[in-house]
């Protein structure tokens, strides 16, 4: 069954007439996403240091936000994090609370990437930004107070997609090899053909209509859907990638493609753990104020990062 707290949230959204994302222009969708976060997200945790940074990018500066918890050692491991939002909405502020929680619980630095969004900047702009920003973090490790040999990549939804693609890009480009991948209900197949797209396509917050909306704003050309930078599940070689934790939600249209990616990683010899929160909906990881299982999931993710980025 659907988690009762998730059911109550969905019912409340219907009662209050919250407009579906696919009915909004991108600027309005972004504004509402930012404004609504305070209702579902816990209060932000205090960090020893939070500051905004800028990395040179292919089309201008790329923003990042740096989080250092009080428990981080002088040369800490680091998680480079890419926010969700369908490559169209979301920013450093919408995922600020989650990044603070991951930093606090893992004892590691978190660096969030403010990549370019569609439709103003269509595919592969987000990919290019994430890859460039991640390489910059590695190059600047000493000045950032992090250990260049202990860097993980992570993200939720579209950000999970970008984390997988960045890991592949680093491997194929002979870049540094991250220590770990944290993939929270990642989008891995732009074709949206996995069975859960049909079974969970309506009624659970992220709908088939909204997925089509995001895809159309990010990568409208159907011929590009099979590009591995859009659909990492279709990459012909997933070997020699960092170990991964793939987390999905049972009532999420992306559930099956997340599981398929976890299976494909395992088949390719990549140490991979897979956990499905069977009673949850897409997006639940940021909703700890109203969904108790969100807090459990964040703790699990942070523990996985902590273990992967342990000293040495």
Token pair listed for 306: 């902590």
- How remote is the C-alpha of 136 from its chain's centroid? 19
Q: Report the C-alpha gap between 223 and 218 in whole angstroms.
A: 13
Q: What angle do helix axes 158-172 and 125-139 make, rounded to 10 degrees? A: 60
What 8-state DSSP symbol labels residue 207? Answer: -
Q: Is 3 marked active-site?
A: no
Which has the closest alpha carbon to 79: 106, 97, 48, 57? 106
Report the distance separating Cα 214 and Cα 236, nearest Å. 25
Question: What is the C-alpha to C-alpha distance for residues 55 and 136, in angstroms, rounded to an integer?
Answer: 7
Residue 282: active-site member: yes
Of 144, 139, 202, 200, nearest to 175 by C-alpha is 139
Contact status, residue 109 vs residue 77, Cβ threshold 8 Å: yes
Exactly one of 104, 138, 235, 282 is catalytic; which is it?
282
Q: Which residues of 224-256 are buried (b: 16+ CB within 10 A; e: fewer)?
A: bbebbbbbbbebeebeebbbbbbbbbbbbbbbb
CA 304 to chain centre: 15
Side-chain-side CA neighbours of 139 within 13 Å: the count stands at 9
CA distance 308 to 247: 16
**Which of these is catalytic: 157, 196, 231, 294?**
157
Catalytic-labelled residue, pool 3, 96, 227, 252: 252
> Catalytic: 95?
no
Query: Which residues have a catalytic role annotated?
Result: 157, 252, 282
């Amino acid at each position: 069954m659907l988690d009762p707290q998730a059911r109550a949230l969905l019912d409340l959204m219907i009662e209050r007439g919250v407009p579906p994302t696919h009915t909004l222009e991108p600027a309005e969708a972004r504004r509402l996403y930012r404004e609504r976060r305070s209702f579902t997200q816990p209060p932000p945790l205090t960090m020893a240091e939070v500051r905004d940074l800028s990395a040179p990018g292919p089309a201008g500066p790329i923003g990042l936000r740096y989080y250092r918890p009080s428990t981080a050692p002088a040369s800490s491991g680091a998680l480079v994090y890419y926010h969700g939002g369908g490559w169209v909405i979301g920013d450093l502020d919408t995922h600020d609370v989650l990044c603070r929680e991951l930093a606090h619980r893992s004892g590691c630095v978190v660096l969030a990437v403010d990549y370019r969004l569609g439709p103003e900047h269509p595919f592969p702009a987000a990919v290019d930004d994430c890859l460039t920003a991640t390489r910059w973090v590695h190059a600047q490790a000493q000045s950032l107070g992090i250990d260049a040999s202990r860097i993980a990549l992570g993200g939720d939804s579209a950000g999970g997609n970008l984390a997988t693609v960045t890991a592949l890009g680093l491997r194929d480009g002979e870049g540094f090899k991250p220590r770990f991948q944290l993939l929270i209900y990642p989008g891995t197949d732009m074709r949206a053909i996995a069975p859960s797209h049909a079974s969970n396509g309506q009624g659970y917050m992220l709908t088939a209509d909204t997925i089509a909306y995001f895809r159309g704003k990010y990568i409208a050309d159907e011929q590009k859907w099979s590009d591995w930078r859009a659909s990492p599940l279709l990459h012909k070689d997933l070997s020699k990638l960092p170990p991964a934790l793939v987390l999905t939600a049972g009532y999420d249209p992306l559930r099956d493609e997340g599981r398929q990616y976890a299976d494909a990683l395992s088949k390719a010899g990549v140490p991979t753990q897979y956990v499905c929160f069977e009673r949850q909906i897409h997006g639940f990881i940021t909703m700890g104020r109203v969904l108790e299982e969100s807090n459990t999931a964040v703790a699990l993710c942070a523990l996985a990062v902590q273990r992967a980025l342990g000293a040495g």
